[in-house]
Amino acid sequence: MTQPPTLGLIGCGMVGSALARLAVASGLNVVLSNSRGPESLAALVAELGPRARAATPPEAAQASDMVAVAVPLNAYDRLPVSELAGRTVIDLMNYHPERHGRIAVLESGKMTPSRLVQRHLVGSPVVKVFSDIDFRRLRPGPRLGVLDRSVLPVAGDDVDAKAEVSRLLSALGYNVIDVGTFENSRVLTALAVATEQARAVTRAMAEKLEILPPDSPGYVNWPTASCSAAVRMRLSPQEQRIMTLTAAGRSLTEVAQEMYLSEKTVRNYLSRIYGKLGVRSRHQAILHWLGHVGSPDIESTAT
C-alpha cells in the first residue's frame, strides 16, 4: 500500500498550524517543528492525531518529502541547508520590516524575499505560495468543483518544483496559477498588502451593516474572494469591480468617479447586478457579495 506523502513544517505559528490542519484533513502526514523544540508542539500534535508528529527543524526536513517554511523572514538564514538539500521548499514568508527588522538587500529592491531564501538554500528549489491568503482561509473543507475552488498563485524559478507544489495544492483543494519567476513574486507581496487593506474596509462595512458587532473577534474575507467563483462568473469584470467598490463602502458617486463613469451608468450596472444576484437592493447585494447570504463567510475566531 502506497504511503501518503509527508509534509514537513518549519514554523508552526498561525500560518504553519493552519496548513498542518489542512494537510492532515487532506490525508497527508505532517512533521511539525519550530525553534522552541518538539515538546512545545505537543498540544497541536494531539489535536492533529496519528498523522502528525513533532521534531526539530533538521529532523522535520530529513523526514519529509516536501517542506513548508513559515518562520519570520529575518530567520531565513537559520534554516537547515544540508538537511533540506534535494527537497522542494515552500516559502510562506512575507517581509514585514516593521515587525522583524529591515533587511538591506530587500530594502534596496535588488532582490525579492524568495530569491534571498533561495540563495541560502542552494540545494533546494524554493517555491513562493500562500503569501497572499490569510491563515484563517486555510481550513479543512469539502473539495469543491473546479469552478468553486480558490486559486493560489505560485512563483519560482524551478519549473519542476512548481509542478510538484501545484500537485500538493490540488490535493489540498486549490487551483493554481503560475505567475512566473521570483521576480514576478513581487506582485504577491503587493497583493498581500492590498488584501489586508481590503479586509479592513470590508470589516468596517460588515460592522456598519450589523453583520458583526464592533470590536468582536472574527474575520471577514475581502469582497472579491467572499463569493464563490460560480457566483462571480455571473458578473462581468466591470460589474465585479463595481460590487467590490460598493461592498467596500463607496457611494454611487464615488464609484462613478473612481471608474470614470456617469452615475446613471453605474446605476444601470447596479440594476443588472441585482438581477444577476437575485436581490432587490444595494444592502442585499452587499450582504450577498460579503458571503453572508446562503454560505456565510464570516466566522468567529478567538484572537
pLDDT digits (tens, 9 = 90+) for 170-218: 888 888 888 888 887 766 665 555 555 555 555 565 566 555 555 554 4
Q: What pTM did the predictor assign? A: 0.64
**Residue 41 DSSP class:** G
* pLDDT for res 70: 93
Per-residue confidence at 91, pLDDT binned at 50, 70, 90?
Answer: very high
Mean per-residue pLDDT for 244-266? 82
* pLDDT for res 134: 63
Per-residue confidence at 296, pLDDT binned at 50, 70, 90?
Answer: very low
Mean per-residue pLDDT for 27-45? 96
* pLDDT for res 209: 56
Q: Give how far Cα 222 sits from Cα of 132, 134, 200, 243, 247, Å.
A: 12, 10, 8, 12, 9
Instruction: Specify the range with the lowest mean pLDDT, choosing from 39-53, 66-80, 273-287.
Output: 273-287
Residue 101 has pLDDT above 70, yes or no: yes
* pLDDT for res 147: 53
Cβ neighbours for 200, distance < 8 A, ≥ 6 positions apart = none
Residue 40 has pLDDT above 80, yes or no: yes
Q: What's the mean per-residue pLDDT of the chain?
A: 79
Residue 294 has pLDDT above 50, yes or no: no
**Alpha-helical runs (H) found in the chain:** 14-25, 42-48, 57-62, 81-84, 97-100, 104-107, 113-120, 159-172, 186-208, 223-226, 229-232, 237-247, 252-259, 263-277, 282-289
* pLDDT for res 117: 95
Measure the CA–CA gap between 30 and 1, rounded to whole angstroms: 19
Measure the CA–CA gap between 86 and 65, rounded to whole angstroms: 9
* pLDDT for res 278: 85
* pLDDT for res 265: 93
Residue predicted with more confidence, 78 or 207:
78
* pLDDT for res 302: 28
* pLDDT for res 226: 42
Residue 248 has pLDDT above 70, yes or no: no
Instruction: Specify the range with the lowest mean pLDDT, choosing from 60-74, 79-93, 127-141, 242-256.
Output: 127-141
Q: How many residues does the chain have?
A: 303
Residue 237 has pLDDT above 50, yes or no: yes
Measure the CA–CA gap between 127 and 179, rounded to whole angstroms: 11
* pLDDT for res 140: 64
Residue predicted with more confidence, 115 or 234:
115
Q: Which of 6, 10, 140 is nearest to 68 (CA)?
A: 10
Per residue in 176-187, pLDDT tens? 888 888 887 766
